[in-house]
Structures are given as C-alpha cells and as structure tokens.
Structure 1
Amino acid sequence: MASDSAYRTGLFALGIELDGEGFHPAAAHRAGREPADLLNPATLTARVRAAENAGFTFASFDDSLAPDSDGPPGRLDAVTRAAFTAATTSTIGLVPVAAATYAEPFHLSSQLASLDYASRGRAGWLVTDDPDTARTWGATPRITAEEIRRERVDSVEVARRLWDSWEDDAVVRDYATGRFLDRDKLHYADFIGETFAVKGPSIVPRPPQGQVVVFGYGAIGSERPDVALVTGASVAEAGEAVRQARAAGIPRVLVDLEIALDTPDATAIERLADLDALAPTKSTGRLRFSGSAAELTALLTELAATADGVRVHPAVLDADLPILARYVIPALLRTGLAHRPVPGSTLRANLALARPANRYAKELAR
C-alpha cells in the first residue's frame, strides 16, 4: 500500500494551519496579543519560521472574502501572506487557500506560479469554493452545488493548462544574440468553459515544480488534486475517507486533525473547558484530539498506517505549536515516521509527488 511505503521512507507529511490564533473560536482570548497583531508581518514571519524550524512539511493559510466568516476579524489575503514569507523561509511548503469560484483563473494561476518562483518550488494551492463571497462581490450566489463544482473543476483545469503553456526551456537568455525567448515553446491554453474562456499563454514561465501542488478537500476526483485533505469524526471514519480518496485516484491523502495539547500550565481538557466557557466550539467534522504529546505521537503513528500525513489545526497556536515543536515532531523524526525537509527540496519532492511532464511538449513530440 502507498501508506506503508510512506512510513518506510519517512514521507509522512506534517502540515499545520497558521491562519488566525487557532481553530477554537475563543483562541484570540488566550493568545496574549491584540487582534491587530494578526496584520503585523512580524507575527506572520515568526509563526512560519517556528513551523519551519519544527520540521513541518508545509503550512497552510486559510482565507475567506465573506464578511461573516468564522475566521479572524481581519486578515491579509492568503496568497499575499504566503508570498511574503517565501523569502524568509527555505524548506517549508507554503499553501494558501484561494477560492476558485470568484477569482479570475488567469490571474490566480499567475499569482500561484509567481509564489512558486518566490519560494523556489515550495508553492501549493488549496482550492475552495467559498460561495458566501458572492455577497462581497455583489454577485448572485451559485444555485446548485453542481454549478459550483463545475466552475471549480474548470478553474483547476485552466490553471494547469496555463502552467504548462510555457515549456521548461522556453526562456533562452542568450545575451550574445539578444534572444531571450523561444516563441515556438509557448502555447495557447485554448480553454472554453461554461462561465469563462482563457486563451493564454500565461504571462509567467512554467513554475519550478512544473505545476503548483493542488490540494483539495475530500474525495473529489474530478478536480484531479495532487493532495486530498479528508475528515472524520473518528479514526475509523478518517480511515474510510482516506480509502475513498485513494479510490478516486488522488495520489496523496492527508487527514485534517484538530488538536489541543497538555501544556505545563494546564491539561488539554482544562484548556478546552476554559476556551469553551468563553465561546463554545463549533463542529467542523474534523478528527479531534486532546491529550499529551506522547498520546498525539501515538495517534499520528496509527494514522500513518492508512494516510500519507496530517494537517493539524491547533486550538491556540501560541500554546500548542511549541509543544508540537519540542515533543511531538522530534519523536516522529526519531522513529523515522517523518522527515525534516532540507533546503533546496520542493514541496512535490517532500510529498513524494513526481514533477509532471508538460502536456504541450508531449503532444508535439508525438
């Protein structure tokens, strides 16, 4: 099984969500900072560096344009945050959330390709719909889930075509002759969907990874994501979600996991009770864990029997991230379950994903 191979080679991926103060609605009350600090670049940089130094494979940045979002009261857009941290990091993957339904696909694909260049091959894209943003845009919400799904599929497809619209050696850089581009190695995307059309080619050369790593939620095979993030209220349910995603042909499957850890000042149960008294938590359908660092290590080892990794959502980032960095990840590294990304490696390499061949170069070679 693919998961067994991941365990043997230490390719159990470890991701962390770094948006806001944590998954719990009351996290801001226990974060020890002002809400405006979330817009401070120093806060963002410190957290991403802490996650990188701990050994995480990637960090994701949630986002929403909906004014009634359950997230923090204010945020910079996720792609901007990821791009800002690209220059000050060297190993951690950077995976912003970007809604496919209301973003312009051409511009979004260019932003993500630029992020891959800025990070030297560490960019990902967590595709979402975010239909509630229709009110923000002044647009009529999509009527059916099928219409939303179809536009999401089209957006991913056109992004992949645009990333391939430059062959890898299209840029010549021959200063002696003044020739910098091979026009024959640029290709039209020629995409026509039901709600938009894109001619292309892209305005950004092919990303270092060939294509930015596409993340998606659940067993959504029609979008052809590279990585699926699945949920489950129990380990058994999460395992079944992993199997469904594998059956849909998704190469890598990770489990979304909410965590609250014992700290020197309080147990996880005490911390959650304190947080719930301030603002009751909402059910997200994700697998949830509360307990000691050793117990979390045991759970992750159990999940490694079926999944290719996890993305953790700490209850309060400033409290849980230090415990993860000091006790949990070192234990996983010692057992060989996980590995620490090294400078120069791409996000694809750290997820054991092959660099895709350019579709247009392959077609012309036939």
Structure 2
Amino acid sequence: MAIEHEYRTGLFAVGIELDGEGWHPAAWRRAGHEPARLLESRTLKERVAAAENAGFTFATFDDSLAPPAQGPGGRLDATTRAAFVAATTSTLGLVPVVAATYAEPFHISSQLATLDYASRGRAGWLVTDEPRAARAWGREPRVLEPEIRRERTDSVEVARRLWDSWEDDAVVRDYATGRFLNRDKLHYADFIGETFSVKGPAIVPRPPQGQVVVFGDVTTGSDRLDVAVVTAPTVPAALDAARRARATGVPRVVIDLRVTLDTPAATAAERLAGAAVPTSGSVTNGVSTDASGESESEVRLSFSGSAAELVAVLTELATEADGVRLHPAVLDEDLPVLARFVLPALLRSGLAHRPVPGSTLRANLGLSRPANRYVKEATR
C-alpha cells in the first residue's frame, strides 16, 4: 500500500463538473447571474477560466438530449462547449459527456479527435448511456442492461479503432510533389457488431494524444477505459469501489464527490437548510449520502463542511484513488472556495499538481501515449 500511495503522490487529479449551476436542485436560485445568462458564452468562459486558474486537472461538461431535470432553461451540446473554450485554455483537460448508446460512433470519434486538435491534446470523453432520450432517436427505451452495456462498449471500441486508423505519419505534406497523404498509412476499422458496423478509416487524422482519454463506468471494460469513474454512498464504500475498479486493470480510478462548502456568507449546513431540499442518509465527519433525484445505484458520495475538512477527506480518498471529480452544490458559491482554499492546500501538500502548460491530459493524468494498434500488427 505504501508503494502504491507513493506512486500516486503528485498525480492525484482533481476534476470539476461545470454543467448548469451546480448539482443542487435549487442551485439556479443562488446563481450570481440572471437565469438567461446560463447559456451565454461569457458565463462558460468565466467558469472555465476560474477552474483552470485554480489548478484543476480537468473539467467535465454534462449533457443529455432530455431537458435538465433541475431548474429552468436548457443546455448546449457538451462537445461544442468544450471546443468553444479550447482556444481560451492552456492546461485544463476538457471532458464532454457523450452518450454512446444512441449517437453514431463514427461521428463521436470525429468530434472528439477534432476537440483534441483544438485543445492541443487536452480532450477526454466521459462515455455514458442515455435511455431517457431514446424516443428522440425514434427508438423505444432500452430496459435490458446487458444490451445497453454492449452498445456502449462497442461504441468505445469503434472510436478507439478509428483514432488509430491513421498512423501518426500518414500525413505527408510534400508540396513539391503534391503528395499530402500516404494511403498505406490508413487502415480500415472493419468493425461488425450486433447493432451496427463501421468500415472506416476516420476522416480526422490520429489525435495528438494518440487516443482521446476515455472516462467511464468500469462495466464499459477495463481494456477500453483510461479512467474509471466510481460512485459510492460512503467513504469506506468509495475506497472499496476504487480498489475493485483498480483490480480490473483499468489504468486510473477517480471518485465522484458532491460538495457543499462553508462560505463567508453561510455554513454548508445553513446553505443546505436554506435551500429547503433535505438530504437523506447518515452523516459522519461531514460526509453523507445524498439521494436528491437519483436512483439507489447512482447515489454519489456527498460532502458538506469546511474547506479544511474537505482536504482531509480528499487526502483519505487519495490512498486508493487517482483523483476525484467534484460536483459543487452551487458553482458560483462553491467554486471560489475550492479555488482559494481547497486546491492551494492540495498543491502545497504535494498530493496534487498543477497541470503544466503544453502538457496533454494524458501526461497530467500520468498516462502514456498509446502505440497505434495497426502499426503493431504490421510489424508482427
């Protein structure tokens, strides 16, 4: 255990979810702007800039074809939002949520590869399912989990094959001869599944990272994920879930954690009480279960308390996990506290590190750039 913890020291990744106004159902009432400003580009840029300046490793952008379950308004496509801020950021990993069950995997792979180019190697993909939006695609909702899981797994496999379908030196750019592409360096994906098939090759050259960093549930398959995202209702359960995920062979494991922090204006308890939405479950050292609108299988670890107490919880989680993804209750209230007190404390202790300008998301997560599978096959 001591050796594993020493290996992860300095590579503990701290991510943040930046969709909407926060996880709390009443977050929109406490936002620092009018509801109409949520979809303005200025709001997105300000929040992304605040997260990057604070030293977060990556930011995720939730998405769904269905309308938001909490608060008024809507949302813009997650990949579009990530691409919009790609040029205005230099260190923050940009990880849109993209449902794999009903979207075309060829298009997903192209969009994410393009995002990796726009961000100079800082793109990720949080792969999810979206049964609620099935009717928007003219299909009935799926009820069989094995079928949903298979489509999700197949979509990730296709995307990975397409990212490799161009070798790194496939683009020639020989202006003297007018030759710009080596066709021998392009490969067919040749995927045939139960619900779709993809021939390839991709229409976008291999991403700067070789493979966009794939986040997701461990059921997607450890051989297809770079980072497993685990959820659990308590700290011991989260630590156990991280151990089990790591045992599958997935390279990195992060834990989802909802946070409600003390602010200069009110304590976390006062903020939750004032929002009039009670939490359920037991409370131990500021950590509790929270089930506001989530099914039992989706309950996330939830923290409420001071910045110092949160740092202690994160330090404990770091003994088994490679990082966390924080879900602030109210972005406009919790993000400033995270930026002023939590991230600096983690950086000073050496537990976390500030992403280096010019580095890729893979490098900041301690992941190597993968070799192209087709090059390996050709040299056998």
Mapped pair 1:63 → 2:77 = no
Aligned residue for 1:324? 338
Q: Is 1:237 aligned to 2:237, yes or no?
A: yes
Q: Which runs of 5+ in 1 are unaligned?
A: none
Partner of 2:29: 29
Residues of 2 paired with 1:41 and 1:241: CA distance?
37
Gaps of 5+ in 2: 280-290
Task: Establish whether residue 342 from structure 1 lines up as the match of residue 356 from structure 2.
Answer: yes
1:169 equivalent in alignment to 2:169: yes
Equivalent residue letter for 1:175? Y
Question: Given the alignment of the two structures, is residue 288 of structure 1 paired with residue 302 of structure 2, yes or no?
Answer: yes
- Aligned residue for 2:325, secondary structure, equals strand
Instruction: Give 1:282 shift.
Output: 3.4
Measure how far apart 1:275 and its partner are: 1.4
How far did residue 205 of structure 1 move? Answer: 0.1
SS in 2 for 1:255: strand
Residues 218, 190 of structure 1: alpha-carbon distance in 2 compared, 3 angstrom cutoff: closer
Counterpart of 2:276 in 1: which secondary structure?
helix
1:179 aligned residue:
179
Q: How does 1:111-126 map to 2 (within 5 A)?
A: 111-126=111-126
Q: What is the identity, as a one-letter code, of the residue corresponding to 2:97? A: V
Q: Distance in 2 between matches of 1:123 and 1:182?
A: 26
- Assess, with a 3 A threshold, how the Cα gap between structure 1 residues 258 and 247 changes in structure 2: closer, same or farther: same
CA contact (8 A) 1:55 1:340 kept: yes
Distance verdict in 2 for CA 1:304–1:68, change over 3 Å: closer
Q: Supply the AA of the counterpart residue of 1:202.
A: A
TM-score (norm 2): 0.93
Distance 2:6 2:299 in 1: 28
Tell whether 2:329 aligns with 1:315: yes
Taking only the aligned residue pairs, the percentage that are identical comes to 73
Question: Residue 272 of structure 2 contacts residue 278 of structure 2 at CA under 8 Å; is this kept in 1?
Answer: no
Say whether the 8 Å CA contact 2:51–2:339 is kept in structure 1: yes
> What is the deviation of 1:70?
4.3
Shift of residue 67, structure 1, vs aligned partner: 3.5
Using the TM superposition, give the Cα deviation of residue 6 of structure 1 relative to its aligned residue in structure 2, in angstroms: 4.2
CA RMSD of aligned residues (A): 1.7
CA–CA separation in structure 2 for the residues paired with 1:132 and 1:23: 19
Matched AA of 2:335: L
The CA deviation at 1:124 is: 0.3
- 1:144 shift after superposition: 0.8
**Alpha-carbon separation, structure 2, partners of 1:352 and 1:289:** 27
Instruction: Indicate if the aligned counterparts of 2:39 and 2:76 stay in contact, CA closer than 8 A.
Output: yes
In structure 1, what is the equivalent of residue 194 of structure 2?
A: 194
Match of 1:300 in 2: 314
Tell me the secondary structure at the aligned position of residue 290 of structure 1.
Answer: strand
Given the two structures, how large is their TM-score scaled by the length of structure 1? Answer: 0.96
Give, in angstroms, the shift of residue 339 of structure 1: 0.4
Summarize the Cα distance change of 1:219–1:102 in structure 2 as closer, same or farther, 3 Å threshold. closer
**1:127-276 maps to which residues of 2 (within 5 A)?**
127-218=127-218, 220-221=220-221, 224-276=224-276
Are 2:218 and 2:225, in contact at CA under 8 Å, matched by a contact in 1? no
1:219–1:307 CA distance, 2 compared to 1 (3 A): farther
> Partner of 1:101 in structure 2?
101
Residue 222 of structure 1 and its aligned partner are, at CA, apart by 5.6
Q: Is the 8 A contact 2:15 2:58 kept in 1?
A: yes
**Distance (whole Å) between structure 2 residues aligned to residue 245 and residue 276 of structure 1:** 36
Q: In 2, are the aligned partners of 1:13 and 1:338 still within 8 Å (CA)?
A: yes
The answer (yes or no) to whether the contact 1:67–1:136 under 8 Å persists in 2 is no
Moved more, 36-45 or 62-71: 62-71
Segment drifting more, 53-62 vs 279-288: 279-288
Deviations 1:221-253 (A, max 9, x none): 366211011111111000111011111111100
- Corresponding letter in the other structure for 1:294: A
